Chain A
Amino acid sequence: MNGLLSALRTVGAMTIDGIWRLGFATRFLVAVLMHSGQSLRRVHLTIREIYFSGVLSLLIIVVSGLFVGLVLGLQGYDILQRYGSSEAVGVMVALSLLRELGPVVAGLLFASRAGSAVTAEIGLMKATEQLKAMDMMAVNPLARVVAPRFWGGVISMPLLAAMFSTMGIFGGWLIAVPVIGVDDGAFWSQMQAAVDFRTDVLNGVIKSVVFGTAVSLIAVFEGYDCQPTAEGVSRAITRTVVTSSLAILALDFVLTSFMFRGQ
C-alpha cells in the first residue's frame, strides 16, 4: 500500500515537473526570440555558432550520407531487380532520402554532434557562474549566449540535411551506375520524373527546418535549465540527446501525416 502510494506520488511529481518544464521551455523560446534581434544585428556571434555546429558537423554528415546512400543503392537494387525495374533504384534512393532519411538522420546526427555540445557549453557556463557574471555586467546572457547558438542551429540544420541527401544520392548513384551497371540515363531520368519539387524537395526542407528548430531549442534550453553541477551538466547533455531524438521522430510522424496522407 505504502509502495503503491509512493509510486503514484512519483508519477504525479514527474507529470507536474514535465508540465512545468514545458511551460518554462515555451516562455524561454519566446524570450530567446525576443532577444534575437540584438544577436542578429551582431551577426558575427551567429556566424561563430554556425561554424561550431554547422561546419564542424560537415564531416560526419557527409560521410554518413554517403554510406546511407551506398546501402540504399545496394538494398534498393536487390529488391527492385526482382521486379525487373532496377532502373528505379534512383527513384527509391532519392525519394527515401529527400522525404525521410535526409532530414531525420541528419537531425539525429546533428542532435548528438552539435546539440550536445551546445548544452555542455551553456551548462558549464552556468555551473561556473559565467551567465550570472554576464547578468551582473548588464549583458543579457539570452541575447549574448543563447540566441546566437539557437539561430546557428536553425540555420545549419537545413543546409546539413540538404548535403546529407545530396551525398546519399551520390552514394546511390555510385553503387547503381559504376558498380552494378544500371543505365546512367535511366537512373537520372526516372528520378527526375518521379521526384516532385514541391511534395518531395520542399517538404524535406520544411522538415529539416522544423527539426533544426526543435533540436536547437532543446539544446539551449537543457543547457540553460541544468543543475549547475558536474552531474547536472552531464544529465542535461543526456537529456538533450534523448529528448531531441524523440522529438525528431515524433515530429517526423506528425509532419509526414500532414504532408503525405496517401491521397
Chain B
Amino acid sequence: MMNRTALDLWVGIFVAIGFAALTFLAMKVGNFSVFNKAPTYVVTAQFDNIGGLKVRAPVKSAGVLVGRVSSIDFDAGSYRAVVGIEIDSRYEFPSDTSAAILTSGLLGEQYIGLDAGGDIEMLRDGDRVMLSQSAVVLEKLIGQFLFDRASETPAQ
C-alpha cells in the first residue's frame, strides 16, 4: 500500500507537469485565442480584389488589432469579393468607416485596415462597410507604370 501512494505521487507530478506544459504552450506561445472569445459583431465589406488576404487575418485600426477576418466569399452577382470582418464589441466604428487591404512591411502578411469616418451612426452587426480599397497587386502596378511611361513618350 505504501508503494502505491509513492507511485501515485510521481504520476500526479507527471500529469501536473504535462498539463502545465500544455497550458504554457496555449497561453504563452499560442496566445489562446479560442476560449477567451470576447463578444464580437460581424460587418461585411466588398472588394474588387483581395490579393492574398486569408481568413483569420488581422483587422487593425490605427495599427491596433480590433478584430479578424471571419469569412471570404465571392459574390457571383457583382463579381466582387465579400469579406466578413469580425470586430471586438468593445470597439464601435461610424457607419462611414472605410476598409482597405494593406500589407505589413514589403512582403508581409495582408491585413484589413479600418479608417473611422465621422458619422454619428455606428456600424451594427450585419452592416456593410461602403467604402473599400482593394489590395495592391504588384503586377498590376508595374503594368500600369509601364503603360503610363509608354503613353508619355511619343511614338516614333
- Which residues of A are at the interface with B, using a C-beta cutoff of 8 A? 44, 47-48, 50-51, 54-55, 58, 94, 98, 156, 158-160, 162-163, 165-166, 169, 188, 191-193, 195-198, 200-202, 204-205, 263
Is there contact, CB below 8 Å, between A47 and B26?
A: no
22 A-B contact pairs sorted by A residue (CB < 8 Å): A44-B4, A47-B7, A48-B7, A50-B14, A51-B11, A51-B14, A55-B11, A98-B25, A159-B15, A159-B17, A159-B18, A163-B17, A166-B21, A169-B29, A192-B30, A195-B29, A196-B31, A197-B32, A198-B33, A201-B26, A201-B29, A205-B22
Q: Which residues of B contact A200 (CB under 8 A)?
A: 30
- Which residues of B are at the interface with A, using a C-beta cutoff of 8 A? 4, 7-8, 10-11, 13-15, 17-19, 21-22, 24-26, 28-34, 54, 56
Having A98-B25, A197-B33, one finds 16 other A-B pairs with CB under 8 Å, namely A51-B14, A58-B17, A94-B29, A158-B22, A159-B18, A159-B22, A162-B25, A169-B25, A192-B31, A195-B30, A196-B31, A197-B32, A198-B33, A198-B34, A201-B25, A204-B25
Distance A197 CA – B22 CA, assembled complex (angstroms): 11
Q: In the complex, what's the smallest C-beta–C-beta distance from A184 to chain B, in angstroms?
A: 13
Is there contact, CB below 8 Å, between A197 and B4?
A: no
Is there contact, CB below 8 Å, between B30 and A51?
A: no
Q: Which residues of A contact B7 (CB under 8 A)?
A: 47-48, 51
Q: Which residue of B lies closest to A85 (CB)?
A: B105
Is there contact, CB below 8 Å, between B11 and A98?
A: no
Is there contact, CB below 8 Å, between A166 and B10?
A: no
Is there contact, CB below 8 Å, between A197 and B14?
A: no
Q: Which residues of B contact A205 (CB under 8 A)?
A: 22
- Among B4, B13, B26, find the residue whose CB has the most chain A CB atoms closer than 10 A: B26
Q: Which residue of B lies closest to A189 (CB)?
A: B31
Distance A258 CA – B142 CA, assembled complex (angstroms): 37
Q: Which residue of B lies closest to A57 (CB)?
A: B14
Q: In the complex, what's the smallest C-beta–C-beta distance from B25 to chain A, in angstroms?
A: 5
Distance A126 CA – B132 CA, assembled complex (angstroms): 72
Is there contact, CB below 8 Å, between B26 and A197?
A: yes
Distance A165 CA – B17 CA, assembled complex (angstroms): 13
Q: Which residues of B contact A47 (CB under 8 A)?
A: 7-8, 11
Distance A240 CA – B4 CA, assembled complex (angstroms): 29
Known: A196-B33, A201-B29. A159 touches B11 (CB 8 A): no
Distance A193 CA – B105 CA, assembled complex (angstroms): 15
Q: Which residue of B lies closest to A49 (CB)?
A: B11
Distance A166 CA – B26 CA, assembled complex (angstroms): 10
Is there contact, CB below 8 Å, between B25 and A159?
A: no
Q: Which residues of A contact B15 (CB under 8 A)?
A: 50, 159
Q: In the complex, what's the smallest C-beta–C-beta distance from A211 to chain B, in angstroms?
A: 15
Q: In the complex, what's the smallest C-beta–C-beta distance from A45 to chain B, in angstroms?
A: 11
Is there contact, CB below 8 Å, between B18 and A163?
A: yes
Distance A162 CA – B28 CA, assembled complex (angstroms): 13
Q: Which residues of A contact B19 (CB under 8 A)?
A: 159
Q: Which residues of A contact B33 (CB under 8 A)?
A: 196-198
Is there contact, CB below 8 Å, between A159 and B14?
A: yes
Q: Which residues of A contact B30 (CB under 8 A)?
A: 98, 192, 195-197, 200-201
Q: In the complex, what's the smallest C-beta–C-beta distance from A89 to chain B, in angstroms?
A: 14
Q: In the complex, what's the smallest C-beta–C-beta distance from B76 to chain A, in angstroms?
A: 21
Q: Which residue of A lies closest to B12 (CB)?
A: A47
Distance A94 CA – B17 CA, assembled complex (angstroms): 19
Known: A51-B11, A163-B17. A197 touches B54 (CB 8 A): no
Is there contact, CB below 8 Å, between A162 and B31?
A: no
Known: A159-B19, A162-B25. A197 touches B34 (CB 8 A): yes
